[in-house]
Amino acid sequence: MNENRILPCPYCDTLNRVPSSKPAQDARCGRCHKALFEGHPVALTTRRFDAHARAQDIPLVVDFWAEWCGPCRGFAPTFEAAAREFEPRVRFAKVDSDREPELSQRFQIRSIPTLLMMQGGRELARVSGALPMSELRRWIGAHLPQ
């Protein structure tokens, strides 16, 4: 039996049916034809957020950040490196808390950077603060759905 995974496109948010037998890193969007994974976090707006957060077949790690935040800027290269390391098992996204206050309020973000891991619209885990790569790896690994 050939099971399919439903993966949102990081560019146009179209839900794509990708056979489990096909490597996800090779998958392209059926609508815009861009790669579904490129090893970079996706910048999400309030409008685009739910298409990715509600995905059942892939966890989403979201970095709530702001341009003026020194720890956020310092953490950005670590988060980028994690995207390269963990995709396509995990999707990585960034939400600018100043530009998307509705999302910050919805998730009760009180400090930045704050990371959320979500899947199927549910929050699985949360951590605040700029983590070193070893801590980020451990946090992701501890909360990945089996």
Task: List active site positions.
Answer: 69, 72
Compute the distance between CA of residue 71 and CA of residue 48 in angstroms, rounded to an integer: 25
Compute the distance between CA of residue 47 and CA of residue 133 in angstroms, rounded to an integer: 30
Nearest residue to 48 (alpha-carbon basis) of 108, 3, 89, 95: 95
- Cis omega (within 30 of 0) for bond into 88: yes
